[in-house]
Chain A
């Protein structure tokens, strides 16, 4: 009997959108800390941000076990780099390309890693990869439902002189919208800042503030 693999079409433990924006002094990534099990908000304090080396951060959504595998793969790459001691380091762009090959390779084997990733790095690098291995660089990225709900908001407010702190506020605003409108989003979020020089700051999980529910009164039925 032929066994049809179903895990390729049915992710089990999933993360939702990740967002990223390029700023004048670095790059900002943001996502919530939820890994859902179907509609169950199963793991509420997991991290979907990963720093495999100084000056690089990966954020991912989709199947969480595959994301953990990808994090292990990148850790291995940088461990090999560490052992090499040749004075060269893998650039964020090289890592982005490498991950795109990994994802593309898996989809070509009809066994995709069910993830969408955003890669941020020093030198103002921001790239995006989906589960087919489609990869591109952009000044603003958002995956999953965030591509529909958040990306227009980022694009609208983005300007070339955007500072990282402004970028954080912009992404927070997007996460707020996602919390309102994405059934798989959570109020607890994490933000990563990667400065031009490669300084990385990943926040502890924190709760979104300034949520706006006043509209509820207006919606009251008379």
Chain B
């Protein structure tokens, strides 16, 4: 699949999105300035020139050395570990913080847990950073409009169905795996998993992203029905840290969001606060 229209120079803008929405970057200030200067003259100039440079290299088979991380045709990917767990009265979402472009860590403190309808519905994103940011923004817009129109908060199911619809109808264009989770008065804590092709499945807990493949066994073995909030947090800490340890595309810090009737709470765990497994 061609993705060249998505090309950006690493580290590009918008790798992370804040919970409030909009594009909030965590790029170094100097690069920001550089970008601002480029954007002022022609917003597409930087992108276009980087694009043509790489194309030039590829097309003319130039014998010019470029570092393997310098590949502007590659999308910033959330090669990721994300997960969410239902418990009686709420949910916990968890995500690592690594955003990579090839093997280069474009952002080591990104926030992959994005508010959809704060404080009750959040999503954890994996796949293309650009695609999932767009998706989260779009769903947030829909859900906000719906809440205003119906004068009641949208349900988690509705938010998940919107993700499903967007991913399903654009499956050949998008690279996005989303876990949508939250709490609503009708059905309590809920976790919905939306996969690449737009399959929507509700699950008691869900794991996603490249890191998840390393911890299916662990999660299946240690998940228990009816865990409380603390047990769910511990479960996420253990599972996510194991994935972050083994998956090269996951890492950084562990972010969590706990959602229940009283609202959402953000948690942050750095490496030294996480359990460590066997290394060897």
- List residues of chain A with CB under 8 Å of any chain B CB: 1, 3-7, 11-13, 35, 37, 40, 42-43, 46, 63-66, 68-69
Query: Complex: how many Å from CA A43 to CA B202?
Result: 10
Which applies to chain A's interface (DSSP): helix, strand, loop or mixed? mixed
Complex contact B201–A46 (CB within 8 A): yes
Q: How close is A80's CB to chain B, nearest CB, in angstroms?
A: 20
The one of B5, B172, B195 that contacts A7, using a Cβ cutoff of 8 Å = B172
Contact, CB under 8 Å: B199 / A64: yes
Report, as a range, how many residues of chain B touch the other chain. Answer: 20 to 34
Q: Which residues from 1 to 50 on chain B have a C-beta closer than 8 Å to any C-beta of chain A?
A: 1-2, 4-5
Judged by a CB distance under 8 angstroms, whether B159 is at the interface is no
Q: Is the CB of B168 within 8 A of A69?
A: yes
Query: Can you list 9 A-B pairs, Cβ within 8 angstroms, ordered by A?
Result: A3-B2, A3-B172, A6-B172, A7-B197, A11-B197, A13-B197, A13-B199, A35-B199, A65-B168
* Leading 7 A-B pairs by shortest Cβ distance: A12-B197, A65-B198, A65-B199, A13-B199, A5-B172, A65-B197, A64-B199
CA–CA, A12 to B127, complex, Å?
14
- Is the CB of B213 closer than 8 A to any CB of chain A? yes
B257 at the interface (CB under 8 A from A): no
What's the nearest-Cβ distance from chain B to residue A131, in Å?
A: 14
**How far is it, in angstroms, between the C-alpha of A40 and the C-alpha of B216 when the chains are bound?**
10
Chain A residues with CB under 8 A of B168: 65, 69
Asked whether, in the complex, the Cβ of B1 is within 8 Å of the Cβ of A4, the reply is: yes
Q: Contact: B171 with A65, CB < 8 Å? A: yes
Kindly state the separation between the CA atoms of A193 and B115 in the bound complex, as whole angstroms: 44
In the assembled complex, the CB of A132 is this many whole angstroms from the nearest CB of chain B, namely 19
Q: Which residues does chain A contribute within 8 Å of B203, judged by CB atoms?
A: 43
Task: Say yes or no: A63-B197 contact (C-beta < 8 A), given A1-B2, A4-B1.
Answer: yes
